[in-house]
Amino acid sequence: MIEFHPATRTFYLALHTSYYAFYVDDDGRVLHLGWGVSPNPQSKIQNPKLAESYLSLSSFDFQLLPQEILTFGDVTSTRESLKVSFGQLGQPLAEGEAAHLPVRDVRLRYTGHEVSETAVPGLAPTHGLPTAVTTPRQTLLVHLQAPLYPTFRATLHYRLTPEHDVLERWVTLENSGENPVAIETCAFASLHLPHGTTQLTSLAGAWAREFTTERTILPHGSHITESRTLQTGHSANPVWLLNRPHQAWEESGTVYFAALAYSGSWQTAIEHLPHGAIRLHAGYNPFDFALTLAAGEQHTTPALVCGVSDNGWGGASRRLHAFTRERILPAPQPRPVLYNSWEATYFNVTVQNQITLARKAAEFGVELFCVDDGWFGGRRHDRAGLGDWVVSPEAFPDGLRPLVDEIHSLGMKFGLWVEPEMVNADSDLYRAHPDWVLHFPGRPRTEARNQLILDFGRPEVVEHIFGLLDALVREYDIAFFKWDMNRNASEPGSVAGRGIWRAHVAGVYGVMDRLRRNHPQLDIQSCSGGGGRIDLGILGRVDQVWTSDNTDAFDRIRIQEGFSLGYPARAMEAWVTHEQNHITQRVAPLSLRFDVAMRGVLGIGSSLNELSAAELEQYASYIAFYKQFRHVVQNGHLYRLERLEEGGASAVQYVLPNGREAVFSMALRDYQVGHFRPRPILRGLNGEGVYTAVNRHGAEVLRATGYELMTLGIPREPQEHVGYSRTLYLRQE
Ligand code: GLA
């Protein structure tokens, strides 16, 4: 609900358990008032004067006003949300003043507001597929203008999803003048958090070590995380949780959350100002950034998604999960069990070995068969073929049709790996168009994994790639693309100039959206050497993501726990692979590999030819078990009952909103003899209900009331040891 109190020009945004308030001061500045948990649903703020003690003024802190948009001009000594330079003054120049141009001073003042039910942020999906919930949402638009340069305007957007306490913030910039305006920095939004909100929980990593949870207390100064490449990046994921130290935990306390819906070069600065104020600025990375608004042009940024939880980090995650499931993921449907042949055959793909794998996979219950790298062009190794998205006659002498038909007749869907943004120098595409890659003329073109990046700033490149993929989907009735992106950027020379950082993201989103519009049966998985392109922007056009190339179950417990901070289980592809992991060389029991992979969207990546008949039977039994409860994992609320940092064990629970079905999953990564772990206490069940818990064999291992399970918890088993795990499916009788 959006309320405006005209007498004090106060805006009050009411969400389910939280509020957000700001007002317009006498000079037309839009000033933040507060954001937090609502004391009660009826309460509101109408009197901004109460907050004015917040604004201390001395000759050193006169710029500290908490403006909803902080512009360079109103502020210079703290970080800004927006920096603009004007080549002209906006009024006649006095003699000698030309030397002061361009003017790097923009002040934005309120001119009016409106409420829209159709506003969307920049780079919103255009595929036309519905999300799970499509009821209209209200967006407050606050219009601002530069009084001394009236042809420059900005509109602040606040879209409310009250049921999840989520606000989406973005900004539209407009130049209705005759001269170009250069945007030098541009956050999608700046957030003002209460003083002392200095405990930050965030996600860092690297290839094969994605989603490592870090928790820190922010000292004074700025804490910066960013991506300086064309995708979201492995080293930091754009999700943040913030709270006052010692005042929030997993299931209690006030926790603020923010996440970017953008998959390119982003930056977030969390600023801890000398007086204790905390600000979070997130949006385009100012690194190598340029955005010029020509006469009559406007630009709308993507969104910063944010909110506040009154029940700890877990409540923040559940809000983000529900928001993503209901409002971001396209056309949600149960995610199929997938088989991917990468770790079975690597580049040695042949029609025969894929058919052999497909037959075995179908027998134990796989629903989607994906052929990974190696099926196209001259791709017999990673030094050739990228860019030539045509079926390799060497691997498939009669084309893909025999394999596709076989997979369909086995009752499975067919999927393919692609890496559309890339090209090998040894490819027909590069030989024909050496100018189609990012490069600076006359300068070296650095290859990584032997590949170069196509210049998506060129419309003809985007069209060419779209045309090839579109034809493939049409010809082979492809149900799934694993869309990969395997290197960071270098030498970002493009016909789009510095705009390439944004143009690349827009190009990728555009190709995905058009493919999905043309082929509603097509699902897409985002992969970038594992989890390098995971964010709320890409999730608007893909169904799932490849969390990490690291499929070691012990490492996965940690990676998946970190992933769960921001993203829902139904988007998290997780594979069971070989007993001895190919990356870490560690050996993990089959039970652990399945129990951990069943926490998300189950996939199989093992070489089936190396498995005995007995092992294949076990695979079949686990897959059948997963299919019984996957709707709970994929649609339920997640509770992290025990986190790794608490003692080496991870216990999670998924529970349907009506409390009638739940899945309990625990895995022990480290174990100290002599240390008794607490019994995991379940949540979200119906107290009076009687539940039975079954294991994979259908054996009833526990019968108890919801009240007992939520007080006494799940009994531990005597033989728990490193590598021990179990999954129980609980149903109310
Ligand atoms: C990347 C992906 C892997 C696999 C290979 C294929 O590394 O993350 O899963 O698809 O590429 O080359």
What is the DSSP pairing of strand 601-604 with strand 572-576? parallel
Question: Helix, strand or coil for residue 367?
Answer: coil
Reported residue count of the chain is 733
State the closest ligand 1 atom to the C-alpha of 417, by its place in the atom list counted from 1: 10
Task: State CA 587 to chain mean position distance.
Answer: 31
State the closest ligand 1 atom to the C-alpha of 382, by its place in the atom list counted from 1: 12
- Give the pLDDT score at 95: 84
Res. 55 pLDDT band, cuts 50 70 90 = low
What is the DSSP pairing of strand 2-5 with strand 725-732? unpaired
User: Separation of 530 CA from ligand 1 center, angstroms?
Assistant: 7
- Which positions are annotated as active-site residues? 484, 549
Which residue is closest in CA terms to ligand 1's atom 9? 549
Mean pLDDT (whole number) for 638-667 = 96
Helices first, then strands: H and E counts in the chain = 11, 36
- Give the pLDDT score at 677: 85
User: Separation of 548 CA from ligand 1 center, angstroms?
Assistant: 10
Which residue is closest in CA terms to ligand 1's atom 11? 529
Taking a C-beta distance cutoff of 8 angstroms, is the pair 576, 605 a contact?
yes
Pairwise CA distance, residues 125 & 720, whole Å = 47
Spatial CB neighbours of 284, under 8 Å, sequence gap ≥ 6: 185, 186, 187, 188, 264, 265, 266, 267, 291, 301, 501, 502
Which residue is closest in CA terms to ligand 1's atom 2? 529
Pairwise CA distance, residues 547 & 65, whole Å = 41
Pairwise CA distance, residues 398 & 354, whole Å = 14
Backbone angles phi, psi at 507, to 5 degrees: -65, -45
The share of the chain scoring above pLDDT 90, in percent, equals 91
> Does CATH place domain 640-732 in 3.40.630.10?
no
Task: Determine the straight-line distance between the first and last CA of the chain, rounded to whole angstroms.
Answer: 39
What is the DSSP pairing of strand 10-14 with strand 18-24? antiparallel
How is the chain split into domains, by residue range?
2-53+62-91+98-120+137-328, 422-475+485-519, 640-732
- Tens digits of per-residue pLDDT, 363-404? 999 999 999 999 999 999 999 999 999 999 999 999 999 999
Mean pLDDT of the chain: 96
User: Separation of 634 CA from ligand 1 center, angstroms?
Assistant: 25
User: Separation of 424 CA from ligand 1 center, angstroms?
Assistant: 15
Amino acid (1-letter code) at residue 345: T
- Give the pLDDT score at 57: 66
Spatial CB neighbours of 621, under 8 Å, sequence gap ≥ 6: 696, 697
Of 205-214, 256-265, 570-579, 671-680, the poorest mean pLDDT is in: 671-680
- Give whole-number Cα distances, 139 to 12, 184, 281, 345, 558, in Å: 13, 27, 21, 50, 37
Res. 46 pLDDT band, cuts 50 70 90 = confident
DSSP conformation letters of 87-144 = SS-SSPPPTTGGGGPSB--B--EEEEEEEESS---TT---S-PPPS------EEEEEE
The residue whose two tokens read 């502020």 is 75
| 171 closest CA partner among 69, 268, 281 | 69
- Give the pLDDT score at 513: 98
- Give the pLDDT score at 488: 97
The share of the chain scoring above pLDDT 70, in percent, equals 99
Amino acid (1-letter code) at residue 509: Y
- Give the pLDDT score at 675: 82
Q: Sign (positive/negative) of CA torsion 280, 286, 289, 291?
A: positive
- Give the pLDDT score at 99: 87
User: Separation of 226 CA from ligand 1 center, angstroms?
Assistant: 24
User: Separation of 355 CA from ligand 1 center, angstroms?
Assistant: 21
Pairwise CA distance, residues 268 & 407, whole Å = 45
Pairwise CA distance, residues 619 & 695, whole Å = 15
Pairwise CA distance, residues 709 & 178, whole Å = 68
Which residue is closest in CA terms to ligand 1's atom 6? 373
Taking a C-beta distance cutoff of 8 angstroms, is the pair 156, 272 a contact?
no
pLDDT higher than threshold 60 for residue 112: yes
Paired tokens of 183: 């945007």
Pairwise CA distance, residues 166 & 148, whole Å = 35
Q: Where are the beta strands (DSSP E) in 388-448?
A: 413-418, 422-424
Mean pLDDT (whole number) for 726-733 = 98
Instruction: Supply the pTM of this predicted model.
Output: 0.98
- Tens digits of per-residue pLDDT, 523-549? 999 999 999 999 999 999 999 999 999
User: Separation of 607 CA from ligand 1 center, angstroms?
Assistant: 16
Peptide bond into 102 cis (omega under 30): yes
- Tens digits of per-residue pLDDT, 475-494? 999 999 999 999 999 999 99
2-53+62-91+98-120+137-328 CATH: 2.70.98.60
Residues having CB within 6 Å of any atom of ligand 1: 342, 372-373, 417, 484, 486, 527, 529-530, 546, 549
Paired tokens of 383: 């030094």
Which residue is closest in CA terms to ligand 1's atom 7? 529
Question: Helix, strand or coil for residue 357?
Answer: helix
- Tens digits of per-residue pLDDT, 249-305? 999 999 999 999 999 999 999 999 998 999 999 999 999 999 999 999 999 999 999
- Tens digits of per-residue pLDDT, 419-454? 999 999 999 999 999 999 999 999 999 999 999 999
pLDDT higher than threshold 80 for residue 51: no
- Give the pLDDT score at 332: 85
Paired tokens of 11: 């805006």
Which residue is closest in CA terms to ligand 1's atom 8? 529
- Give the pLDDT score at 63: 86
State the closest ligand 1 atom to the C-alpha of 529, by its place in the atom list counted from 1: 8
Pairwise CA distance, residues 703 & 690, whole Å = 7
pLDDT higher than threshold 60 for residue 624: yes
- Give the pLDDT score at 40: 80
**Ligand 1 pocket mutation, candidates 371, 545, 549, 575, criterion most atoms within 8 A of CB:** 549
Pairwise CA distance, residues 695 & 718, whole Å = 17
Which H or E run contains 661?
A: strand 661-668
User: When comparing pLDDT for 413 and 45, which is higher?
Assistant: 413
pLDDT higher than threshold 70 for residue 56: no
Pairwise CA distance, residues 314 & 640, whole Å = 7
Spatial CB neighbours of 329, under 8 Å, sequence gap ≥ 6: 131, 132, 539, 540, 543, 568, 570, 571
- Give the pLDDT score at 53: 58
Pairwise CA distance, residues 330 & 645, whole Å = 34
Pairwise CA distance, residues 292 & 615, whole Å = 60
pLDDT higher than threshold 80 for residue 90: no
- Tens digits of per-residue pLDDT, 203-241? 999 999 999 999 999 999 999 999 999 999 999 999 999
pLDDT higher than threshold 70 for residue 114: yes
Mean pLDDT (whole number) for 696-707 = 97
**Ligand 1 pocket mutation, candidates 338, 340, 342, criterion most atoms within 8 A of CB:** 342
Which residue is closest in CA terms to ligand 1's atom 5? 373
The residue whose two tokens read 């592809």 is 573
